[in-house]
Amino acid sequence: MLIPLTREKFEQLIPIIATGSQYGYFWGKLPDVLKRLLVSVLAIVVILILGLILGNGFDPLRLLLGIGAGLYWLWGPIYSASMRNLETRRYKYSGFWHGRVLDVFVTEELVGTEETVNNRGELVIVENRERRLNLDVGDESGFTAQLQAPLRRTHKAIAPGQIAEMLVMSNQPDLSSITKISDIYIPSQNLWVSDYPYVQRDTFTQISRQLREADETETDAPVRPRPVKIKRRRVR
């Protein structure tokens, strides 16, 4: 089942400024933090050198640039997440999708490589692999999609047949061609499956709850209209 959303609701679900979970995603691990610290230090050095070359007239601008560069390690994740959000908000139309889990399985994926030197002084390329969850979802219309995310212990609770919900995006007014999907919500487990946390989760779960309550009300009514479903292609 697919319910179109207004532009206002879509922009509530995909905020411009990074959420806490999005900030955490781009904060990364210790090597990522150290890289941003190195960029901050190098930027400050460059600003100091320019200050010496250009003289005192550069002082006000140098101060502002110095503060921004010195705090890059802190605000860098906000910038990265906001750019990702802006890219997502370029889609003109969106909808609330409600279906079920079709399949769930684990694979081991190559996520990066590192160059190192062994005991004999030889250059060795080390592959970094990560176990990832693959979640297939679909509905009665024939639409299917797959989401891959880092494996978590909580994912053990996911099983075929469970209800799955997500935000879908398109540039077609009738949503006949789904171009992008968000993270997936499993209401029965109150569980999210995602690589990048696209949606404002409090807002999404509120919409989910309201729609379930409306569906229960319709179930109690003497006559229940059947939702219209449109066939859509598989999205990965």
Domain identity same for 201 and 125? yes
Q: Is residue 62 part of a domain?
A: yes
Alpha helices (H) in 71-200, listed in sequence order: 72-88
Number of domains in the chain: 2
119 and 75 assigned to the same domain: no
The two three-digit tokens of residue 35, written as one number: 């890289």
pLDDT exceeds 50 at position 85: yes
Residue 194 lies in a domain: yes
Tens digit of pLDDT for each residue in 96-119? 999 999 999 999 877 777 777 777
Which of 219, 227, 10 has its CA nearest to residue 98? 227
Residue 163 and residue 211: Cα distance in Å, rounded? 13
14-45 pLDDT per residue, tens: 999 999 999 999 998 888 899 999 999 999 98
Residue 67 dihedral angles phi and psi, to the nearest 5°: -65, -45
Q: Using CB atoms within 10 A of its CB, is residue 96 exposed (0-12), middle (13-18) or buried (19+)?
A: buried
96 & 210 share domain: yes
In a domain, 120, yes or no: yes
Verify that 6 and 82 share a domain, yes or no: no
Confidence class for position 137, pLDDT limits 50, 70, 90: very high
The model's confidence at residue 219, banded by pLDDT at 50, 70 and 90, is low
> What's the distance, CA 38 to chain centroid?
26
Spatial distance between the Cα atoms of 181 and 121, rounded to a whole number of angstroms: 46
Residues 145 and 54 in one domain: no
Q: What is the distance of C-alpha 162 from the center of its chain?
A: 22
Residues 123 and 55 in one domain: no
- What is the predicted pLDDT for the residue at 217? 66
| Average of per-residue pLDDT across 66-75 | 90
- The model's pTM: 0.79
Domain that holds residue 187: 2-15+91-220
CB–CB of 147/181 below 8 Å? yes
In a domain, 152, yes or no: yes
